[in-house]
Structure 1
Amino acid sequence: MPPAVTDSHAEEATSVLGELATDESGLSESVAAQRLSEYGPNALAEAPSRPMILRLLAQFDNVLIYVLIGAAVLKAILGDWIDFAVILAVAVISAVVGYVQEGKAESALAGIRNLLSPTASVRRGGQWQVVDAATLVPGDIVRVAAGDRLPADVRLIETVNLRIEESALTGEAVPAAKQTAAVEAAAGIGDRTSMAYSGTIVAVGTGVGVVTATGATTEIGRIQAMVSGVEQIETPLTRRLDRFGTLLSLGILGAAAVIVVIGKVIHNFSIDELISAAIGFAVASIPEGLPAVVTITLALGVQQMARRNAITRRLPAVEALGSVNVICSDKTGTLTQNEMTVRTAVTAAGVYDVDGTGYQPTGSVTRDGKPAGLTEHLDLRALVRAMALCNDASISEIDGQWHVAGEPTEGALRTFVLKAGYDAHTPRLAQLPFDSANKFMVTLNERPGGDRTLLVKGAPDRLLDRSNTQLAADGRLEPLDRLRWEAEIDRLSAQGLRVLAAAFRPAADDQETATADDIAEGLTFLGLTGIVDPPRPEAVEAIALCHEAGIRVKMITGDHVGTARAIALEMGLVSDPDAPALTGADLEQLSQSRLREAVPDVDIYARTSPEHKLRIVSALQAEGNVTAMTGDGVNDAPALTRADVGVAMGIKGTDATKQAADIILADDNFATIERAVEEGRRIYDNIRKSILFLLPTNGGQALVILVAILAGIALPLSPVQILWVNLITGVTLSLALVFEPAEPGIMSRPPRRSDGPLIARPDLLLIALVSVLVAGSAIAVYFLTTSHGYSLAVAQTAAVTMLAFGQLAYLFSCRFLNSSSLTLAVLRGNPMVWWMSGALVVLQLVFVYAPFMHTWFGSAPLAAIDWFATAGLAVLMFLVIEVIKRWDLHTSQ
Structure 2
Amino acid sequence: MWFKKSPQDVITELIVNPLEGLTTEEANIRLARDGENRLAGKKKKSLAVLFFSQINDAMIYILIAAAIISGVMGEISDSIVILIVILINALIGLIQESKAEKALEALKHLSTPKALVKRDGVITEIPSEQVVVGDIAIIDAGRYIPADLRLIESANLKIEESAFTGESLPAEKDANLIINEEKPQIGDLRNMAFMSTLSTYGRGTGVVIATGMNTEIGKIAKMLDEEGDESTPLQKKLSGLGKNLGFAAVIICTLIFIIGMFQGRDWLELLLTSISLAVAAIPEGLPAIVAIVLALGVQRMIKHNAIVKKLPAVETLGSVSIICSDKTGTLTINRMTVKKFFVNNKLNDLDNIDIINNESKILVEGMILCSDATSTGTSKTGDPTEIALLDVGIKLNILKDSLNEEHNRVNEVPFDSDRKLMTTVNSYGNRYNVFTKGAIDSLFTICNSILIDGIIEPLTEDVKTSLLNSANSMSNDALRVLALAYKEIKDENIAIDQLEHGLIFVGLMGMIDPPRQEVKPSIDLCLKAGIIPVMITGDHKNTAFAIGKELGIADNISQCMSGSEIDGYEEKEFNKIVNNYKIFARVSPEHKVKIVKAFKSHGNIVSMTGDGVNDAPSLKVSDIGVAMGITGTDVAKGAADIILTDDNFTTIVNAIEEGRNIYNNIKKSIIFLLSCNLGEILALFIAILLNWATPLLPIHILWVNLITDTFPALSLGVDPRDESVMEEPPRNPKETLFSRSMGLYLIVNGTLIGVLTLFAFKYGQYVYPDSLRHAQTMAFVVLSVSQLFFSLNMRSTKKSIFTLGLFTNKYLTASVVFGIAIQLVIISVPFLANLFKVYPLSLSDWGFVMMFAIVPLVVNELLKLVIRHKQ
Shorter-chain TM range is: over 0.9
CA distance in 2, matches of 1:173, 1:598: 28
Letter in 1 for 2:41: E
Q: Which residue of 1 aligns with 2:783?
A: 803
Letter in 2 for 1:167: S
Letter in 2 for 1:558: G
1:278 to 2:274 alignment = yes
Q: What do the CA deviations read for 1:440-493 (whole angstroms, capped 9, x no partner)? A: 322110112x21111122233322332222211234233142222222222111
Aligned-pair identity in percent equals: 39
CA gap 1:549/1:582 in 2 versus in 1, 3 angstroms: same
1:111 to 2:106 alignment = yes
CA contact (8 A) 2:73 2:272 kept: no
Letter in 1 for 2:713: S
Q: What do the CA deviations read for 1:485-540 (whole angstroms, capped 9, x no partner)? A: 22222211111212122111333423278x5x344432222111111222112211
Q: Which residue of 2 aligns with 1:595?
A: 574
Q: Which residue of 2 aligns with 1:628?
A: 607
Counterpart of 1:827 in 2: which secondary structure? coil
1:15 to 2:12 alignment = no
Q: How far off its partner does 1:316 sit? A: 0.2
CA gap 1:502/1:801 in 2 versus in 1, 3 angstroms: same
Counterpart of 1:470 in 2: which secondary structure? strand
Q: Which residue of 2 aligns with 1:637?
A: 616
Q: What do the CA deviations read for 1:153-207 (whole angstroms, capped 9, x no partner)? A: 0111222332222122112232222221323434311121211101112223322
194, 198, 201: which is aligned to 2:195? Answer: 198
Q: Which residue of 2 aligns with 1:412?
A: 388
Letter in 2 for 1:815: R
Counterpart of 1:446 in 2: which secondary structure? strand
CA distance in 1, matches of 2:869, 2:139: 70
CA distance in 2, matches of 1:563, 1:73: 65
Q: How far off its partner does 1:328 sit? A: 0.5
1:378 to 2:319 alignment = no
420, 424, 431: which is aligned to 1:439? Answer: 420
CA distance in 1, matches of 2:577, 2:248: 43
21, 24, 29: which is aligned to 2:24? Answer: 29
CA gap 1:80/1:457 in 2 versus in 1, 3 angstroms: farther
CA distance in 2, matches of 1:187, 1:879: 69
> For structure 1, which segment, 870-879 or 133-142, has the greater mean C-alpha deviation from structure 2 after superposition?
870-879
Give the CA RMSD over aligned residues. 2.2
Q: How far off its partner does 1:9 sit? A: 2.2
1:392 to 2:372 alignment = yes
Superposed, which structure 2 residues align to 1:578-617 within 5 Å?
578-617=557-596
324, 332, 338: which is aligned to 1:328? Answer: 324
Superposed, which structure 2 residues align to 1:852-891 within 5 Å?
852-884=831-863
Q: How far off its partner does 1:599 sit? A: 1.3
Counterpart of 2:174 in 1: which secondary structure? coil
Unaligned runs of 5+ in 2: none
Q: How far off its partner does 1:863 sit? A: 2.1
Q: How far off its partner does 1:696 sit? A: 0.7
1:154 to 2:149 alignment = yes
TM-score, normalised via structure 2 length: 0.95
CA contact (8 A) 2:657 2:726 kept: yes
CA gap 1:93/1:808 in 2 versus in 1, 3 angstroms: closer
CA distance in 1, matches of 2:853, 2:803: 18
Superposed, which structure 2 residues align to 1:418-817 within 5 Å?
418-420=394-396, 422=398, 425-448=406-429, 450-480=430-460, 481-511=463-493, 515=496, 517-574=497-554, 576-760=555-739, 762-789=741-768, 791-817=771-797
Letter in 2 for 1:22: V
Q: How far off its partner does 1:750 sit? A: 0.8
Superposed, which structure 2 residues align to 1:230-245 within 5 Å?
230-245=227-242
CA distance in 2, matches of 1:885, 1:651: 47
CA distance in 2, matches of 1:30, 1:889: 84
Counterpart of 1:129 in 2: which secondary structure? strand
CA contact (8 A) 2:795 2:801 kept: no
Superposed, which structure 2 residues align to 1:220-369 within 5 Å?
220-265=217-262, 267-354=263-350, 365-366=351-352
Q: Which residue of 2 aligns with 1:358?
A: none
Counterpart of 1:777 in 2: which secondary structure? helix
Unaligned runs of 5+ in 1: 1-5, 355-364, 367-371
CA distance in 2, matches of 1:518, 1:838: 92
Counterpart of 1:397 in 2: which secondary structure? coil
> For structure 1, which segment, 715-724 or 377-386, has the greater mean C-alpha deviation from structure 2 after superposition?
377-386
CA distance in 2, matches of 1:780, 1:100: 47
Counterpart of 1:486 in 2: which secondary structure? helix
Letter in 2 for 1:40: G
CA distance in 2, matches of 1:64, 1:437: 69
Q: What do the CA deviations read for 1:594-650 (whole angstroms, capped 9, x no partner)? A: 210121111101111111111111111112111111111111111111111111111
CA gap 1:501/1:238 in 2 versus in 1, 3 angstroms: same
Q: Which residue of 1 aligns with 2:830?
A: 851
Q: How far off its partner does 1:736 sit? A: 1.2
> For structure 1, which segment, 407-416 or 564-573, has the greater mean C-alpha deviation from structure 2 after superposition?
407-416
CA contact (8 A) 1:762 1:888 kept: no
Letter in 1 for 2:300: Q
Find runs of 4+ consecutive structure 1 residues off by over 6 angstroms.
886-891
CA gap 1:547/1:792 in 2 versus in 1, 3 angstroms: same
Letter in 1 for 2:18: E
CA contact (8 A) 1:178 1:436 kept: no
CA distance in 1, matches of 2:217, 2:4: 20
CA gap 1:340/1:664 in 2 versus in 1, 3 angstroms: same
CA distance in 1, matches of 2:516, 2:626: 18
Q: Which residue of 1 aligns with 2:94?
A: 99
Letter in 2 for 1:415: D
CA gap 1:159/1:561 in 2 versus in 1, 3 angstroms: same
Letter in 2 for 1:629: M
Q: How far off its partner does 1:102 sit? A: 3.4
Q: How far off its partner does 1:793 sit? A: 3.0
CA distance in 2, matches of 1:600, 1:39: 43
Q: How far off its partner does 1:385 sit? A: 1.7
Counterpart of 2:125 in 1: which secondary structure? strand
CA gap 1:827/1:12 in 2 versus in 1, 3 angstroms: same
CA gap 1:698/1:408 in 2 versus in 1, 3 angstroms: same
Q: How far off its partner does 1:775 sit? A: 1.0
CA gap 1:510/1:389 in 2 versus in 1, 3 angstroms: closer
CA gap 1:802/1:129 in 2 versus in 1, 3 angstroms: same
Counterpart of 1:151 in 2: which secondary structure? coil
CA contact (8 A) 2:774 2:839 kept: yes
**Matched residue count:** 860
Letter in 2 for 1:198: M
CA distance in 1, matches of 2:480, 2:616: 28
CA gap 1:178/1:718 in 2 versus in 1, 3 angstroms: same
Q: Which residue of 2 aligns with 1:362?
A: none
CA gap 1:50/1:308 in 2 versus in 1, 3 angstroms: closer
Q: How far off its partner does 1:681 sit? A: 0.2
CA contact (8 A) 1:105 1:641 kept: no
Q: How far off its partner does 1:688 sit? A: 0.6
CA distance in 2, matches of 1:518, 1:886: 88
Q: How far off its partner does 1:873 sit? A: 2.4
